[in-house]
Amino acid sequence: MEKPKSSFLVMIIIIIISLTLITVIMAAEQPQQQPQRIKTKVVILGAGMSGISCARILEEAGMEDYVVVEADNRVGGRMQPYMFQGISIELGANWIEGTVGNPIWEFKERLSLEGSISNYSDLWVFDTVSKTRFRPNDNPRWIDLQNALDFAANLSRRKRESAEPDVSIKVGLQLGGWRAKDPVDFALEWSQTDFENAHSPDESSLEHELPGDTFEIFEDEMYMITDQRGYVTVVHDLATSIDSNKIILNSEVQRVNWNSSDSIEVTTTDGRIIEAERAVITFSIGVLQSDRIQFVPALPIWKQEAILMSEMVTYTKIFMKFPFAFWEESEFILYASERRGYYPFWHNLNHPKYFPGSNVIMVTATKTESMRIEAQPTDVTITELMAVLRDMYGVGIPQPLAVKIPIWHKNPWTLGSYASWPLGLTAGHKSNLKKAVDDRLFFAGDGISQLIGYVHGAYLSGIETADSVLQILGFNPTPRIENVFALSH
């Protein structure tokens, strides 16, 4: 009685094996999907400000054989608007730094970008030790700090003119008679150094960051964009003359093979292979420092060293929406914690100049605090934020209705907020950052520009790099290109 059952089982096994073999054979006979190959003269890697400004200049010069490759689903890079509780806020770039002669200011005027000049003197300081508030000008230590900053800025100018060795901003301040001693001192110092540079005075280069080329050239007013179209409108405007078919979105670069003397092959994670004569690389310094992009062969040591000597800092703006505004009517509030850089700088976005009636307040954190915030759960961060606010305004304040914490350090396409030149980076390193490799691999971006870390720096870097590519390809740059580039010198 057992024999028929065994035969049946054998037949079932044979059928299963046969079906498996048929499936394998049919799959093998199916034609393999070939990667999409694109051939072009120039490939621009990245559709942020520098990539799009580079493409715009190529287009204007009549060099139309190019493509732009972007990992994200949009153009604009770190210019990123976000709809938060009914208002469009900026998660990344937010200000036009310097309004006199700044090319981005020209876009603001032509596009009628709404915003306001930030008044950083409209500030209250909360002392966590005495639990009192004061205006900075009423505190003699603020005057001491301003005098030390003036001394350090003049020392920086002298060092640059006479090619003296660089020192840290901390050393410059100390030579000017400033030494931070208590929470109020550290908070005042943070507001004048870390808030702009995103790292502490002992890490900051005096030569590169105080007063900084941007504020020497374009002066020191800062215009905060609140336009509901977003700051990225500038990039969109640049892109209007570019054929949308030349911009490939959702296509992350995996490898740049420049081994052949005839062409460069760019491979993307979605199966594209772009073959080009020249490549313009606009990745952030953070991405270039990582191993996310494979260069075959590896970039020359001189180029790698210049990249690794640079720094990608993280600057975090945290937005909080409340049922009503319970804080001061001033533009800014400085929290003088015993822990330096702990949720220090609060920006009243409910102010009439920004988003009146929004009941939104923003706090800024930088570098190590930013990375710590990104690494911990959101509810822990909210608990910390509320503890700070309750320290300043009492335990009866309401819970937030919404909180937005941008992620830049852990974002694989940025690995930070913006580029910086740290202490130890030389003029040779700066030159090598900009220099093309083999006249085939060109570099652009906020980390390559002399006006490092700024939107206008990225814009001018894209123009300068496009100019270099055009010359190699035998095109003549227009006088307009040369005049705009002169601004960065």
Average pLDDT over residues 158-187: 97
- Domain boundary among the residues 384, 404, 424 is at 404
Torsion of CA 383, 385, 386, 388, to 10 degrees: 120
User: If we measure between CA atoms, which residue out of 126, 214, 205 comes closest to residue 172?
Assistant: 205
Q: Integer distance in angstroms from the first to the last C-alpha of the chain?
A: 97
Tell me what pLDDT residue 479 has: 58
Residues 192 and 58 in one domain: no
pLDDT of 480 higher than 90:
no
Q: State the Cα–Cα distance between residues 376 and 466, nearest whole angstrom.
A: 41
Share of the chain above pLDDT 70, in %: 90
Tell me what pLDDT residue 160 has: 92
Cβ-Cβ contacts under 8 Å for 218 (sequence gap 6 or more): 97, 98, 99, 100, 101, 102, 105, 456
Q: State the Cα–Cα distance between residues 111 and 233, nearest whole angstrom.
A: 8
Q: Does residue 214 lie in a domain region? A: yes
CA 462 to chain centre: 15
pLDDT of 483 higher than 70:
no
Cβ-Cβ contacts under 8 Å for 233 (sequence gap 6 or more): 111, 113, 227
Count: domains in the chain: 2
Tell me what pLDDT residue 354 has: 98
CA 230 to chain centre: 16
Q: What's the pLDDT band for 19 if we cut at 50, 70, 90? A: low
Residue range 66-92, pLDDT digits in tens: 999 999 999 999 999 999 999 999 999
Tell me what pLDDT residue 35 has: 76
Residues 143 and 219 in one domain: yes
Average pLDDT over residues 15-31: 50
Number of CB atoms found within 10 A of residue 74's CB: 15
pLDDT of 10 higher than 80:
no
pLDDT of 29 higher than 80:
no
Q: For all residues of the chain together, what is the average pLDDT?
A: 93
Expressed as residue numbers, the domain containing 205 is 115-225+315-404
pLDDT of 486 higher than 80:
no
**Is 141 within 8 Å of 182 (Cβ atoms)?**
no
Q: Does residue 108 lie in a domain region? A: no
Q: What's the pLDDT band for 476 if we cut at 50, 70, 90? A: confident
- Domain boundary among the residues 404, 425, 453 is at 404
User: If we measure between CA atoms, which residue out of 284, 306, 294, 309 comes closest to residue 409?
Assistant: 284
Cβ-Cβ contacts under 8 Å for 25 (sequence gap 6 or more): none
Share of the chain above pLDDT 90, in %: 89
What is the chain's Cα-based Rg? 27
Q: State the Cα–Cα distance between residues 487 and 363, nearest whole angstrom.
A: 33
- What are the structure tokens assigned to 14, written together? 């044979």
Residue range 296-330, pLDDT digits in tens: 999 999 999 999 999 999 999 999 999 999 999 99
Q: What is the CATH number of the domain that holds 119?
A: 3.90.660.10
Residues 330 and 385 in one domain: yes
pLDDT of 367 higher than 50:
yes
Residues 186 and 172 in one domain: yes
Residues 322 and 385 in one domain: yes
Q: Does residue 88 lie in a domain region? A: no
Q: State the Cα–Cα distance between residues 341 and 367, nearest whole angstrom.
A: 9
pLDDT of 57 higher than 50:
yes
Average pLDDT over residues 268-272: 96
**Is 43 within 8 Å of 444 (Cβ atoms)?**
no
pLDDT of 15 higher than 70:
no
Tell me what pLDDT residue 100 has: 96
Residues 198 and 157 in one domain: yes
pTM above 0.75, yes or no: yes
Residues 349 and 246 in one domain: no
Q: Does residue 373 lie in a domain region? A: yes
Residue range 173-213, pLDDT digits in tens: 999 999 999 999 999 999 999 999 999 999 999 999 999 89
pLDDT of 34 higher than 80:
no
- Domain boundary among the residues 404, 431, 464 is at 404
pLDDT of 481 higher than 80:
no
Residues 63 and 209 in one domain: no
Q: Does residue 121 lie in a domain region? A: yes
Q: Does residue 107 lie in a domain region? A: no
Tell me what pLDDT residue 489 has: 45
DSSP secondary structure string for all residues of 399-445: PPSEEE----SS-TTTSSSEEE-BTT--HHHHHHHHS-BTTTEEE-S
* CA distance readout (Å), 190 to 58, 134, 162, 296: 42, 17, 29, 42
Residues 154 and 254 in one domain: no
Lowest mean pLDDT among 122-126, 283-287, 293-297, 423-427: 423-427
Cβ-Cβ contacts under 8 Å for 441 (sequence gap 6 or more): 256, 258, 264, 278, 279, 281, 299
pLDDT of 407 higher than 70:
yes
Q: What is the CATH number of the domain that holds 427?
A: 3.50.50.60
Residues 141 and 174 in one domain: yes
Show the DSSP H helices in 290-442 as ranges. Answer: 301-309, 367-375, 378-393, 427-434
Q: Does residue 252 lie in a domain region? A: yes
Residues 204 and 329 in one domain: yes
DSSP, collapsed to helix, strand or coil, labels residue 459 as: helix
List the catalytic residues.
97
**Is 249 within 8 Å of 21 (Cβ atoms)?**
no
Q: What's the pLDDT band for 239 if we cut at 50, 70, 90? A: very high
* CA distance readout (Å), 319 to 22, 176, 298, 342, 406: 59, 36, 41, 16, 9
Q: Edge-to-edge strands of the sheet including 402-404?
A: 132-134, 123-127, 332-336, 345-348, 360-366, 315-321, 402-404
Residues 220 and 342 in one domain: yes
DSSP, collapsed to helix, strand or coil, labels residue 353 as: coil
pLDDT of 266 higher than 90:
yes
Q: Does residue 389 lie in a domain region? A: yes
Q: What's the pLDDT band for 16 if we cut at 50, 70, 90? A: low
Q: State the Cα–Cα distance between residues 471 and 477, nearest whole angstrom.
A: 7
* Local structure of residue 246 (DSSP, 8 states): G
Q: Is 278 exposed, middle or buried (0-12, 13-18, 19+ CB in 10 A)?
A: buried
Residue range 96-127, pLDDT digits in tens: 999 999 999 999 999 999 999 999 999 999 99
